[in-house]
Structure 1
Amino acid sequence: MCTSLTLTTKDNKHLLARTMDFPMEFGQSVHFMPRGYKWINAIDNSENKTRFALVGMSAIIDNHPVFADGVNEKGLACATLYLPGFAKYDLESGEKFGLASYDFVLWMLSKYSNIEEIKEDIKNITFVERELSLLKIAPPLHWIATDKSGKSIVVEKTEEGLEVHDNPVGVMTNSPNFKWHLENLRQYIGVHPMQNSKIKLGELELSAFGQGSGTFGLPGDYTPPSRFVRAAYSRQNILDIEGEVKGISGAIHALNSCNIPKGIVMTTDRGTDFTIYTSAMCTESGKYYYSTYENRRLTCIDLFKEDLDSKEIKSYPYKREEDIEFYN
Structure 2
Amino acid sequence: MCTSIIFSPKDHYFGRNLDLEVSFGQQVVVTPRNYNFKFRKMPDMKKHFAMVGIALVADEYPLYFDAANEKGLGMAGLNYPDNFHAFEVEDGKDNISPFEFIPWVLGQCATVDEAKKLLEKINLVNINFSEKMQLSPLHWLIADKTGKSITVESDIDGLHVYDNPIGCLTNNPQFPKQLTNLDNYANLSPAMPENTFSKEINFNGYSRGLGSHNLPGGMDSESRFVRVAFNKFNAPKFDTEEENVDTYFHILHSVEQQKGLDEVAPGQFEYTIYSDGTNLDTGVFYYTTYTNKRITKVDMNKLDLDSDQMTVYPINDKITFDEEN
TM value normalised by structure 1: 0.93
Give deviations 1:241-274, integer Å, cap 9, x for gaps: 3333222211211122211111211114542111
Q: Where do residues 48-63 of structure 1 align in structure 2 (5 Å cutoff)? A: 48-63=45-60
Question: What residue in structure 2 maps to residue 239 of structure 1?
Answer: 236
**Cα shift readout 1:28-71 (whole Å, capped 9, x = no counterpart):** 01011111211221x33742224111111011123321011111
1:205-255 alpha-carbon deviations (Å, 9 max, x no partner): 322221110111111101101100001101111114333322221121112
Selected match of 2:24 from 21, 26, 32: 26
Give the Cα separation in 1 of the matches to 2:118 and 2:54: 25
More moved, 220-229 vs 302-311: 302-311
Listed one character per residue, the Cα deviations across residues 280-316 of structure 1 (whole Å, up to 9, x for unaligned) are 1111110000011121111010111111101210111
Change (3 A) 1:197 1:37: same
Q: Following the alignment from structure 1 to structure 2, what is the Cα–Cα distance between the partners of residues 232 and 285?
A: 24
Q: 1:137 Cα shift?
A: 3.0
State the partner residue of 1:291.
288
Could you say what the CA RMSD is over the residues aligned between the two structures, in angstroms? Answer: 1.9
1:127 to 124, 128, 133: 124
- The residue aligned with 1:316 is 313
Give the secondary-structure state (helix, strand or coil) at the position aligned to 1:205: coil
CA distance in 1, matches of 2:309, 2:319: 30
The separation in 2 between residues aligned to 1:202 and 1:79, in whole angstroms, is 48
CA distance in 1, matches of 2:120, 2:201: 62
In the TM superposition, residue 136 of structure 1 has moved relative to its aligned partner by: 4.5
Residue 227 of structure 1 aligns to a residue in which SS? helix
- In structure 2, how many angstroms separate the alpha carbons of the residues matched to 1:324 and 1:156? 42
CA distance in 2, matches of 1:191, 1:201: 19
- 1:82 is matched with which residue: 79, 94, 99? 79
Picking from 129, 151, 160, the partner of 1:163 is: 160
Q: How does 1:1-328 map to 2 (within 5 A)?
A: 1-9=1-9, 12-41=10-39, 43-44=40-41, 46-133=43-130, 136-197=133-194, 205-268=202-265, 270-328=267-325
C-alpha separation between the residues in 1 aligned to 2:300 and 2:59?
Answer: 25
- The CA deviation at 1:134 is 8.5
1:90-124 deviations in whole A, cap 9, x for unaligned?
02233211111122112121111111111111111
CA distance in 1, matches of 2:158, 2:59: 30
Q: In 1, Cα distance between the equivalents of 2:117 and 2:296?
A: 35
Percent identity between the two aligned chains: 33
* Structure 1 residues 202 and 298: alpha-carbon distance in aligned structure 2, compared to 1, 3 A threshold: closer
User: Which residue identity does 1:119 align to in structure 2?
Assistant: K
**Unaligned residue ranges in structure 2 (runs of 5+):** none
**In 1, are the aligned partners of 2:42 and 2:94 still within 8 Å (CA)?**
no
Measured in 1, the distance between the counterparts of 2:276 and 2:179 equals 24
TM-score by length of 2: 0.94
Matching residue's letter, 1:266:
E
Secondary structure of the equivalent of 1:108? Answer: helix
Per the TM alignment, residue 150 of structure 1 is displaced from its structure 2 partner at its CA by 1.2
Contact 1:132 1:139 in 2 (8 A): no
Q: Kindly provide the amino acid, as one letter, of the partner of residue 18 in structure 1.
A: R
Q: Pick which of 151-160 and 267-276 moved more.
A: 267-276
Tell me by how many angstroms 1:203 deviates: 6.8
SS in 1 for 2:45: strand
Quick one: which amino acid aligns to residue 227 of structure 2? R
Query: Separation in 2 of the partners of 1:221 and 1:317?
Result: 31
